[in-house]
Structure 1
């Protein structure tokens, strides 16, 4: 199976432009790679001119994409009282307190987003060893520590995505599915790009966005004019 995928991948490489192309053209090229039996996820990868070792140059946040990401995200919430009720009504997959904390501490991470009310952080904090490495730890900066848990649950169910630069200064995110209309993919990618550009740290010197590429789960990447 792996050998067959490798041949397929190599066969697509000649169709990829050698140089970066405008976003709409990049999407059209990417759509040509939609030859799998499943609906590939489309991702964006941005190389930023930041120093990840500097706390004031961390690029992190979340954005609601105009057309969602093509799948429903699994959301868990730490909340109690009215906040817990609001989270349940908004469609949270699981809402809890000590019981949910124990479940996660025991190794359960079968979810995409973890949201917490501020008064729950004393309980959630110790779970950082489990949630942190998986990018699931609630954070005020990402908007996942909030008193308005119901609203945030609704946003993630509608297609909100989180992102944070890695140690190499790169940002990665899901921006849709191959089955999306080209126009919708373009709008999603452009929305993400605009949001990240708007987060440029003031201390960054030189070019901020140094490279942009989009790709499918099993396709070559296509470089986009930044």
Structure 2
């Protein structure tokens, strides 16, 4: 199988027991991204938290300094002037009750969902659809807001939402293989910094246990955590 061969080749240049400095890791990942498309560079962090407890939930949002390189489709729940404001800001889909009906009918052609506060009565009915996909608008993440222009701009500019999963893992795309190595490194540091700032009150012991980088089709590289604050 082609992917198996590619991974095997990728691991040939990587010591799986070694913890690489950030610069070394980025260089290895970029060098190993040989797919015919521009691979996404993904970060994964193992955290010392149990998200089943409310005081150990890690969640937040960050606008990466160099964006993600991903084209983000944005849906906005808004009416009247706010709907027009959303369209002018570059929202891909804008609606109210009609948009809710489309989503209930299976339309999910968007990556981020924003709502004005007055629309949450309508949006709230979509919790079972949007919630599992991490698309439910949330005031803490800036996706329930009267300022739809800023929210759409931030989403389009490469804002990343993160949320710890059951096993204590957080992962996100932090750029593309075509990015300059220095920009990828800055994005990694910014993301890890955001995770540190989101440390919950209930976290005990070592908070960030492991960090690794990988490209979409490539092998994973373990990072020396100390190099992230250098």
For normalisation by structure 1, the TM-score amounts to: 0.96
CA distance in 2, matches of 1:173, 1:183: 18
The more displaced of 173-182 and 63-72 is: 63-72
- The number of aligned residues is 224
CA distance in 2, matches of 1:136, 1:165: 15
Deviation at 1:14, TM superposition (A): 2.2
Partner residue of 1:178? 177
For residues 108-135 of structure 1, give each alpha carbon's deviation from its aligned partner in whole angstroms, at most 9, with x where no partner exists: 1111000111111100011111111111
Deviation at 1:60, TM superposition (A): 0.7
Partner residue of 2:7? 9
CA distance in 2, matches of 1:110, 1:99: 15
Partner residue of 2:96? 97
CA distance in 2, matches of 1:166, 1:54: 12
Partner residue of 1:41? 40
Which residues in structure 2 correspond to 1:164-175 (within 5 Å)? 164-175=163-174
Partner residue of 2:109? 110
For normalisation by structure 2, the TM-score amounts to: 0.95
- Describe the SS at the equivalent of 1:141: helix
Structure 1: 4+ residue segments shifted above 2 A = none
Deviation at 1:165, TM superposition (A): 0.5
Deviation at 1:82, TM superposition (A): 2.5
Mark the runs of 5 or more structure 2 residues left unpaired by the alignment: 226-230
Aligned Cα root-mean-square deviation (Å): 1.0
Deviation at 1:7, TM superposition (A): 1.1
Partner residue of 2:130? 131
Does the 8 A contact of 1:60 with 1:141 survive in 2?
A: no
Partner residue of 1:67? 66
The more displaced of 14-23 and 201-210 is: 14-23
- Describe the SS at the equivalent of 2:140: coil
